[in-house]
């Protein structure tokens, strides 16, 4: 299945000059959504991960069902003030601003192997911030998966030696 056919492009969102890649049309198509999860599952089946960490909010659409398929725990990373218990924080820059991500302080244990999932990797800011959060808790990132990669923004370089798998690449 050609997943790219199910990605809507929205010009000038969230600000002028950005061509937003919208995955809501992909998740809104049952067969395409299933195919994307099948592909992620195939690529990370042998990761030996203990948990899937996903970024708010669109990363949850893929991270939670992938965790279920792989028989792993699901750990959410959220924007500031959204998690109810004690958290650690990490600031980051993105292509159109800056933000802060949080994870519960007790979400991961030292030595746990973690797979990080998001809908898109662009500049790599939120991905790198999530890696830092995982590592602050003593866990090890064994892979990063995304539906879309905007390769012209070179976000992959922010993740060093971490295995990065993207289902679609836009130059």
| Residue of 43, 56, 69, 95 marked catalytic | 95
- Alpha-carbon span 5 to 32, nearest angstrom: 9
Q: What does the DSSP assignment read for 95-119?
A: TTEEEEEEEETTSS-TT-EEEEEEE
- Catalytic residue check, 16: no
Residue 76: helix, strand or coil by DSSP?
Answer: strand
| Helix or strand run (H / E) with residue 58 | helix 58-70
8 Å CB contact between 148 and 61: no
| Residue of 43, 56, 58, 73 marked catalytic | 58
Quick one: 160 exposed, middle or buried, by C-beta within 10 A (0-12, 13-18, 19+)? Answer: exposed
Give the tokens for residue 80: 């500031």
Give the tokens for residue 110: 């030292």
- Catalytic residue check, 156: no
Residue 48: helix, strand or coil by DSSP?
Answer: coil
- Which residues carry out catalysis? 58, 95
């Amino acid at each position: 299945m050609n997943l790219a056919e199910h990605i809507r492009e929205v010009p000038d969102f969230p600000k002028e000059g950005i061509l937003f890649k919208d995955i809501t049309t992909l998740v809104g198509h049952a067969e395409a959504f299933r195919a994307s999860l099948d592909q992620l599952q195939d690529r990370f089946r042998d990761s030996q991960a203990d948990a899937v960490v996903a970024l708010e909010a669109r990363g949850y659409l893929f991270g939670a069902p992938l965790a279920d398929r792989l028989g792993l725990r699901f750990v959410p990373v959220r924007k500031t003030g959204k998690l109810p218990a004690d958290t650690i924080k990490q600031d980051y820059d993105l292509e159109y601003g800056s933000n802060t991500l949080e994870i519960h302080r007790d979400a991961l244990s030292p030595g746990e192997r973690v797979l990080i999932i998001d809908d898109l990797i662009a500049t790599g800011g939120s991905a790198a911030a999530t890696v830092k959060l995982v590592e602050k808790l003593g866990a090890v990132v064994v892979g990063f998966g995304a539906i879309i990669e905007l390769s012209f923004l070179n976000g992959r370089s922010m993740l060093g030696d971490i295995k990065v798998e993207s289902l679609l690449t836009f130059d």
